[in-house]
Amino acid sequence: EAGMQLLAVPFVPTHAEYIYLSGRRILADQMEFLLAHFPRNSPLHSRLEVLSEPISF
């Protein structure tokens, strides 16, 4: 409509990604189930890898 080219493709989460992004408390077994339903190319995979790395002091 604006006649401008997109710089990036908008992120539209799947239902499993939406549940994760809603910020509710998710138990470990629930998280495993949700991760199994994330698409392989989901940007959340890289985000979760960073969060799961051990913290070094």
Domain extent listing, the chain? 12-37
Task: Indicate if the pLDDT at residue 55 is higher than 70.
Answer: no
Please tell me the pTM assigned to this model.
0.60
Q: Give the three-class secondary structure for 10.
A: coil
What do you get for the CA distance between the two ends of the chain, in Å?
Answer: 51
Residue written as tokens 């080219």?
Answer: 5
Mean pLDDT (whole number) for 23-45: 86
Task: Indicate if the pLDDT at residue 12 is higher than 70.
Answer: yes
Q: Report CA-CA distances (Å) from 32 to 9, 17, 44, 50, 53.
A: 27, 12, 13, 16, 17
